[in-house]
Amino acid sequence: MLLLSYLRMKLLTHNMLTSHVKGVTKGYPLLIKATEVKLTDVDFNSEFVSRMIPKIEWSVLVEAADTLGHLNDLPRDLPPDYESSEDFLRKVHHVLLEVEVLEGNLKCPESGREFPITKGVPNMLLNEDEV
């Protein structure tokens, strides 16, 4: 019986997560330390990718992809006319939705607190003394 083998954390999700340990003012971005990464195939939708780009922190996405070794030739700076470049959008699609972290942890940049990722699910719950 297969349990929890299907879950993972996409980099789009990572882009939203922040540490809220008590006293921490700068809990973003969380540093990814991955012990297991998986690549998957997701249908490409240029409009969705194009709309997500302004919503995300671009440098955080680049850093995360780089940390995982899947930056490839994604540019570190956002090109001004990205909406019209399918080639570019496909690269963004790949890192946003197709690179998945199965195991590892997310580290708060300020407190150093590590939030484990188990079977693709990041656990952001704090202990009582951290709240």
Partner 1 sequence: MKRKELESCLQQVDVFEKPKLLLEQYPTRPHIAACMLYTIHNSFDDIEDKLVADLGCGCGVLSVGAAVLGAGLCVGFDIDEDALEICSRNIEEFDLKNIDTVQCDVCALVPERFSNKFDTVIMNPPFGTKHNKVQDLLTLIFGDVALWFGTCCLCCSKPSCRCRLVRRDVDVSASVGRC
Question: Considering only residues 61-100, where is the footprint of partner 1 by CB under 8 A?
Answer: 97
d(CA 35, CA 102): 8
Q: How far is the CB of 110 from partner 1 (least distance, A)?
A: 13
Residue 6: is it exposed, middle or buried by C-beta count within 10 angstroms (0-12/13-18/19+)? Answer: exposed
CA 98 and chain centroid, separation: 10
From candidates 35, 40, 72, 84, binder to partner 1 by CB under 8 A: 40
31 scored as a contact of partner 1 (CB under 8 A):
no
Residue 123: is it exposed, middle or buried by C-beta count within 10 angstroms (0-12/13-18/19+)? Answer: exposed
Q: What phi and psi values does residue 69 have, to the nearest 5 degrees?
A: 80, 20
Toward partner 1, which CB reaches closer, 49 or 62?
A: 49
Q: How far is the CB of 7 from partner 1 (least distance, A)?
A: 5
- CA-to-CA dists, residue 4 to 14, 52, 102, 123, angstroms: 19, 27, 10, 14
From candidates 26, 36, 38, 42, binder to partner 1 by CB under 8 A: 42
Q: How far is the CB of 124 from partner 1 (least distance, A)?
A: 4
From candidates 39, 55, 80, 129, binder to partner 1 by CB under 8 A: 55
17 scored as a contact of partner 1 (CB under 8 A):
yes
Residues forming the site for partner 1 (CB under 8 A) = 2-10, 12-13, 16-18, 20, 27-28, 40-42, 45, 47-48, 51-52, 55-56, 97, 119-126, 131
